[in-house]
Structure 1
Amino acid sequence: MITGAHVILYSADADADRAFLRDLLGTRTVDAGGGWTIAALPPAEVAVHPTDEAPSHELYLMCDDVEATTADLRRRGIVVDPVTDQGWGLLTGVRLPGGGTLGLYEPRHPVATEPG
């Protein structure tokens, strides 16, 4: 039985991104040994989209109110891209200290982690 999912982000500054995610998510963290901090994710879902290009994977965080969330992140000194309306949701990007970007969006579609 599958009991969870483990996401790996590759970073040019792993220590900074680990600390950033710990503070951003505010969830439980564990030390897997040797400084490898692992943060719990909020409830998650997975979607499979068709592509004619090489298969790839993406990670998006979800929120209930993207405008309020991005305002809070900016107050905390976090760089956030402008919000765009994608139809299926309001999308932005959160810049990681290591140079990467995490997607962040307010979904307009049914969310699998919420009761039907």
Structure 2
Amino acid sequence: MITGAHAVLFSTDAEQDRVFLRDKLGLAGIDAGGGWLIFALPPAEVAVHPAETGGACELYLLCDDVNATVAELRGRGVDMPGDIEDRGWGLLTSIPLPSGSQLGLYQPRHPTAPH
């Protein structure tokens, strides 16, 4: 039986991105050994979208109020330069990681599986 999900972010600066997830996003985690941090995530869902080619995966963090979440992250010192886009199905922005990667962040307007 499936008991959970494990997401992997590949990073050119893994240590800085781990510190960011811990200190700026406030994610709780454990040391899996040798300083290798694994972070707890809130409840998750998975969707399958049609595509011309397969193999791509994306990670989005969900929030109830994207404007309030962006303000809170900015208050924690996160540089949030992007605009919030209204995509109809939700309000979308991204969180820049120290490595230059981006984490998607959106306020869904559709029913979500964890709720």
Q: TM-score, normalised by structure 2?
A: 0.93
Percent identical among aligned pairs is 61
Aligned to 1:67, the other structure's residue is in SS state helix
Q: Could you list the runs of 4 or more consecutive aligned residues of structure 1 that deviate by over 2 angstroms after TM superposition?
A: 23-28
Moved more, 17-26 or 88-97: 17-26
| SS of residue in 1 equivalent to 2:16 | helix
Q: Conserved in 2, the CA contact under 8 Å of 1:27 and 1:41?
A: yes
Aligned to 2:17: 17
| 8 A Cα contact 2:31 2:38, kept in partner | yes
Please list every run of 5 or more consecutive structure 2 residues that lacks an aligned counterpart in the other structure. none
Per-residue deviation, 1:25: 4.0
Say if 2:52 is the partner of 1:90: no
Q: Is 1:110 equivalent to 2:111 in the alignment? A: yes
Counterpart CA distance in 2 for 1:42 and 1:25 is 12
Aligned residues: 114
CA deviations on 1:8-59 (whole Å, 9 max, x unpaired) are: 1011111111111123443431111121100100010000001013430000
Structure 1 letter corresponding to 2:110? H
* Matching of residues 20-35 of structure 1 within 5 Å: 20-35=20-35
Q: What corresponds to 1:76 in structure 2? A: 76
Q: Structure 1: give runs of 5+ residues left out of the alignment.
A: none
Matched ranges for 1:51-70 at <5 A? 51-70=51-70
Q: Match for 1:86: what amino acid?
A: R
> Contact between 1:63 and 1:69, CA under 8 Å: does it hold in 2?
yes
RMSD: 1.2
